[in-house]
Amino acid sequence: MIHFNPDTRTFNLILHSSVYAMQVDSKDRLVHLVWGPRPVGEEGVLSGRLRPTLSDHASFEFQTRRDELLTFGDTTTHEVTLKANFATLPDPLPDGDAPHLPIRDVRLRYVSHEIVTDAQPGLAPAHGLPTANGEPRETLRIQLADPVQPLTVTLCYRLTPAQDIIERWLELENTGDAPIEIEQLFFGALHLPNGTTELTSVSGAWAQEFQTQWERLPIGRRVIEHRSLQTGHAANPFFLLNRPGQAWEEHGTVYFGALAYSGSWQLSFEQFHSTDVRVHGGYHPADFGLTLAAGAQHKTPALVCGVCDEGWGGASRRLHAFTRERILPVAVAGVPAAPPDTHEKSGTVGRPAAADQFRPILYNSWEATYFGITEQNQIELAQKAAAIGVELFCLDDGWFGGRRFDVAGLGDWTVSPDVFPNGLEPLISEVNRLGMDFGLWVEPEMVNPDSDLYRAHPEWALHFPGRPRTEARCQLILDFGREEVVDYIFNALDSLLAQYNIAFIKWDMNRNVSEPGSVVGKAIWQAHVAGVYGIIDRLRAKYPHLTIESCSGGGARIDLGILGRTDQVWTSDNTDALDRLRIQEGFSLAYPARVMEAWVTHEKNHQTGRSHELSTRFDVAMRGALGIGASLNGLDEAELKEYASYIAFYKRIRHIVQGGDLYRLERLEEADASTILYVLPDGSEAVYSVVVHSHKLGQFRRMVPLRGLIPSATYEVLDRYQKVRLTATGYELMVQGISGDEDGRSGYGRTLHIRRLETGD
């Protein structure tokens, strides 16, 4: 609910268990009052009488006012949200003023506000597909204007009360007749209570994404960022913040935020000597440039933020539910594949699982055949995949143009007759006959110099004239600042989708940028993202049954922006179960299990060379959207039966993993083991999963109390053979937990299905 008190000019944004308040002051500036948890179930508004003490009286500390929008000019010694250059002098020029240009000073004053229900941030999906929850949401739009220069900025706050989430974005408008240069633009600034200085974030690299890091913010500035045309492996645009020692997994006040944007980004955390903490998030300032032409507008994407007092777990669950309900598109059920006669039937045989919003079980042949694909070996893999219960078969790299290895072919999106002499039709019909959907890998933003596309259009690659073009994985990036390039790629993908029954594409992006020279100049940073989003939006609008996986050398394009137009993400190229445990834990801080594609691959892992038992590999992969990446041709009948048994088990628990609330009962850094629980919101079913990363001899593992169950209900705990291992009340499970036989073995895992007994109360 949004409440405005016209007497004190105070805004209250009231969410389920938090409140955000700000006030227009006597000089018409919009200043932040407070953001934090509030007593649940209590009615009440903040009058605006109470204000924080700020030290802005001292001559060196006069810029500490908590403006909702920090602008360069008003503020020069600290980080700002907006910096602009005005090229026009005021007319008349005040007496005594010299005609310096450009004027680099923005002062924004309150003009008006409105509450609307249909507002959207910049780069909101335009595919037209619904989200699971389409209930309208209130957005507060507060218009501020510079009293002298022709710039209007509207601050937008869209409320999702159930998850205590506010989406913040800015809408800029040049109301004059000369261009305005914008030099820095974040999507919003957050003022946190003094001392909120313990930061949780993730860092990483290729095959080591989402490594959780905790740190105490220094006095000064700490920045997490990635400078490229995708979100990046090195960091991910989300954070959790709390007072040191005052929050843990299920307790304490935690502030959280994430950017809904997949380009060059920055989150900047500032702590003043006064312990005041500010967070700024949005477009990366490096090489940023935005010209706001006369009369033009610019809408930023959203900085999604929230606060709760249920610890990091509470913050994650809010982000997960928000993503599932409000961000992920719901694909329309596709043309049913033929009913399978060879494998155990899932609850929704003959319909893509996307129709239920749950992700289907995927087989991807990349690690099985790499570039050695033939029609025959793919058909054989597909037959084996169908027989073990797979629902979606994805053909990876190597099917197009001259792509016989990773040195050529990108850009030529036509089926290679060398590999598929009869096109993809024979493979796809067989996949469909087997009852599976068909998926295809593409890497649309790229071009190999050894390709027909590059030979025809070398000028289409990003470059600076007269300067070298640095290749990475033998490839260059197409200039999505050119409309004709974006259209070419759209048309190439459109032709494939029109010709073949393709239900799924894996959209890859396998390098960071260098030489970002484009026909649109510095605007390429946003134009590239808009180009990618635009192609996906057009494809999804035209093929509403299509589902998409976002991949960038594993997990380098995962964020709330891309999730608005994709259904799942490839978490990491590293499929080693124990490495995955850590990657998945970091991932789970912000993103839900439903989108976290996780494959079971070979016993001896291709990336790390380590061997893990099949049970461990399944225990880890079943924590997300299960996929299989192992070569099924290398497995004997007994092993294939084991695979089938795990897949059948996963189908029984999928709705809980992909739709339940996550509780991280035990985290790696505390126990060298990870125990998690997914619980359906009504407490009727849960999945308990424990994996021991490294066990110390002589150490006994504690029983871990469960959460989210109904204390008075009786539950049975089933293993993958549906054998009841335990019967206990919710009370017992939530006070004591489940005793394990996992002592003494590193790499040991266990997954159990917990089900409420109908008559148990």
Q: Point out the residues that are catalytic.
A: 508, 573
Omega of the bond leading into 102 within 30 degrees of 0 (cis): yes
Question: With respect to ligand GLA, which residue has the nearer C-beta, 473 or 745?
Answer: 473
441 binds ligand GLA, rule: CB under 6 A = yes
Check: CB of residue 709 under 8 Å from CB of residue 682: no
State which residue, 363 or 441, has the beta carbon closest to ligand GLA: 441
Nearest CB to ligand GLA, comparing residues 441 and 715: 441
CB of 370 to ligand GLA, least distance (A): 8
Give the Cα separation of 376 and 393 in Å (integer).
14
Task: Quote helix, strand, coil % in the chain, to nearest 5.
Answer: 20, 30, 50
User: Residue 390 Cβ, how far from ligand GLA at the closest point, in Å?
Assistant: 17
Give the residue with the Cβ less far from ligand GLA, 398 or 708: 398
Whichever of 207 and 315 has its CB closer to ligand GLA, that residue is: 207
For ligand GLA, give the closer residue by CB, 249 or 397: 397
Spell out the alpha helix ranges (H) of 357-511: 366-369, 375-388, 425-433, 452-456, 483-499
Residue with tokens 């978490």: 571
Site residues for ligand GLA, 700-759, by CB under 6 A, read none
| Residues 180-219 as x/- pattern, contact with ligand GLA by CB under 6 A | ----------------------------------------
Q: In 270-307, which positions are buried (b, 16+ CB within 10 angstroms) versus exposed (e)?
A: bbbeeebbbbbbbbbbeebebebeeeeebbbbbbbbbb
Please, which residue, 171 or 397, has the CB nearer to ligand GLA? 397
In the complex with ligand GLA, which residue's Cβ is closer, 551 or 668? 551
Q: Closest approach of Cβ 232 to ligand GLA, in Å?
A: 14
570 belongs to the binding site for ligand GLA (CB under 6 A): yes
Q: For 32-42, give one letter per residue: b (16+ CB within 10 A) or e.
A: bbbbbbbeeee
- The verdict on 599 binding ligand GLA (CB under 6 A) reads no
**164 vs 567 by CB, closer to ligand GLA:** 567
Q: Tell me the sheet residues that pair with 297.
A: 173
User: What CA–CA distance (Å, rounded) separates 156 from 140?
Assistant: 6
Least distance CB 280 / ligand GLA (angstroms): 31
Minimum separation from the CB atom of position 338 to ligand GLA (A) = 27
3-state secondary structure of 643: helix
* Contact residue for ligand GLA among 366, 438, 507, 748 (CB under 6 A): 366
366 or 420: whose CB is closer to ligand GLA? 366
Q: How far is the CB of 407 from ligand GLA (least distance, A)?
A: 11
Angstrom distance (rounded) from CA 323 to CA 318: 8
Q: Which secondary structure element, helix H or strand E, spans residue 751, and what is its range?
A: strand 749-756
First-residue to last-residue Cα distance in the chain: 38
The 3-state DSSP class for residue 284 equals coil
| Residues 546 to 565 in contact with ligand GLA, rule: CB under 6 A | 551, 553-554
**For residues 242 and 542, is the Cβ–Cβ distance under 8 A?**
no
User: Cα torsion at 173, 175, 177, 179 (round to 10°)?
Assistant: -20
Residue 449 vs 554, nearer CB to ligand GLA = 554
Interacting residues of 270 by C-beta distance below 8 A, sequence separation 6+: 78, 79, 220, 221, 277, 278, 279, 280
In whole angstroms, the minimum distance from the beta carbon of 131 to ligand GLA comes to 27
How many whole angstroms separate alpha carbon 673 and alpha carbon 748? 9
The CA-based angle 179-182-185, given to 5 degrees, is: 150
Q: Are 117 and 156 in contact (CB under 8 A)?
A: no
380-439 residues in contact with ligand GLA (CB under 6 A) are: 396-397, 406
Q: Does 508 contact ligand GLA by CB under 6 A?
A: yes
- Selected from 79, 391, 437, 573, the binder of ligand GLA by CB under 6 A is 573
| Least separation in angstroms between CB 496 and ligand GLA | 17
Distance CA 2, CA 24 (A): 15
DSSP state of 153: E
CB of 178 to ligand GLA, least distance (A): 46
Query: CA quadruple 122, 123, 127, 129: dihedral positive or negative?
Result: negative
Who contacts 122 (Cβ-Cβ below 8 Å, separation ≥6)?
A: 169, 171, 298, 299, 300, 301, 302
Q: Pick out residues in 24-53 that bind ligand GLA (CB under 6 A).
A: none
CA distance 703 to 726: 14
Using Cβ positions, the residue closest to ligand GLA within the complex turns out to be: 397
Which 509-528 positions form the footprint of ligand GLA (CB under 6 A)?
A: 510
Least Å distance between CB 434 and ligand GLA? 22
Cα 687 from Cα 751, distance rounded (Å) = 7
Kindly state the smallest distance separating residue 399's Cβ from ligand GLA, in Å: 11
- How far apart are alpha carbons 275 and 123 in whole angstroms? 35
Q: How far is the CB of 710 from ligand GLA (least distance, A)?
A: 41
Instruction: Report the alpha-carbon distance of residue 438 to residue 500 in Å, rounded.
Output: 9
Q: Say whether residue 269 binds ligand GLA (CB under 6 A).
A: no
What is the size of the binding site for ligand GLA (CB under 6 A)?
A: 12
Amino acid at 41: G
| Rounded-to-integer distance, Cα 549 and Cα 359, Å | 11
Cis ω before 92 (30° cut-off from 0) = yes
DSSP for 75-89, written as a single string: B-SS--SEEEEE---
Of residues 153 and 621, the one with the C-beta less far from ligand GLA = 621
Cβ–Cβ < 8 Å for 441, 506:
yes
Residues that bind ligand GLA (CB under 6 A): 366, 396-397, 406, 441, 508, 510, 551, 553-554, 570, 573
